[in-house]
Amino acid sequence: MSYIEYIEETHVGGAEILIAKKDFKNDYKNDILKEMNSEGIYEPPKTLSFVSPSKINHIPQEEYDQLVEPYREAMTRLEVRMNGLNEDYRKKYRDYPIHNIQARIKSRKSIEKKLDSKSLPITAYTAKDNLTDIAGIRVICYFVEDIFSILSLVKAQTDLLILKESDYIHYPKESGYKSYHMVLGIPVYRIEGMQYYPVEIQFRTLAMDLWASMEHRICYKGETPDETTDAFRLYSGELSEMERRMKHLLDEIRRDNPQEPMQ
Ligand code: GTP
Ligand code: MG
């Protein structure tokens, strides 16, 4: 059975969201927790044949490595595809919409922390069934227009599934956060057949990325004073305005020095 069952539409905070339902077919009975005896040797607990998965608070390194392997492949495939689209775009329009791409696999600790925050059993199975951001790529564009150009190219890729889409550009978050998020299903082929693996993709302009990186750095830990929160809400608008003015400068230069698209 494929990883994806069906897709439905919903709305979150004004942003259009598409959600794919996954099939849940875990059998936690196999999660036998071993306890350390007085000699420091791990053995199954005496009173229970299996222990509630909620008592397990880590994913063994070997299971983590196995879990992330296909995600790593899916992420690489998407990164290569994005670079290809950027290159094709350059040939056609003599323009690079993408400034740079960052890719990351969620660390074992972050996966454990996220499952715990969702009160889910901390296992590789629950990670696979519940997390769509184990693999993530961030595509940093120059201008907001570039994001929507690249998006239309991504949407035309018939082999990729769009599992979730959140437009925080037209509908910024309360914090002032702007970005366009998608979760794409990327086909990964194995001996057993093909499975779609989710990869989260965040499209941002350089200005949006500056805002998000600074906000993460300054507001992430501990209590954030109200003035700081207010300042960031203001900067979000100011950065968009600055970006718009820079785009205007570029458009003026282009108008005076028109470039013919390459054939
Ligand atoms: P998560 O459980 O955090 O993944 O939330 P979610 O599944 O609802 O996803 P969401 O669309 O909120 O995007 C989550 C990711 O977007 C985070 O991991 C951040 O990279 C980024 N993000 C979302 N909101 C903010 C914000 O207010 N500030 C910053 N700096 N980043 C944000
Ligand atoms: Mg996330």
In terms of Cα–Cα distance, which of 159, 139, 158 is closest to 149?
Answer: 139
Percent of residues, the chain, with pLDDT higher than 90? 70
Using one digit for the tens of pLDDT, what is the confidence trace for 216-263?
999 976 689 999 999 999 999 999 999 999 999 999 998 888 765 544
Using one digit for the tens of pLDDT, what is the confidence trace for 174-195?
999 999 999 999 999 999 999 9
- Indicate which ligand has the atom closest to the C-alpha of 134: 2
Tokens of 214: 């600074």
Q: Which atom of ligand 1 is nearest to the CA of 166?
A: 11
Tokens of 54: 């909620």
Using one digit for the tens of pLDDT, what is the confidence trace for 189-214?
999 999 999 999 999 999 999 999 99
pTM exceeding the 0.85 threshold for the entire prediction? no
Per-residue pLDDT at 25: 34
- Indicate which ligand has the atom closest to the C-alpha of 216: 1
Distance CA 129, CA 27 (A): 12
Residue in 113, 175, 182, 210 to alter for ligand 1 test, most ligand atoms within 8 A of Cβ = 175
User: Identity (one letter) of the amino acid at 238?
Assistant: E
Protein residues whose CB sits closer than 6 Å to any atom of ligand 1:
133, 166, 173, 175, 177, 181, 212, 215-216
Contact between 204 and 138 (Cβ < 8 Å): yes
Walk me through the domains of the chain, giving residue ranges and CATH numbers: 5-256 (3.30.460.10)
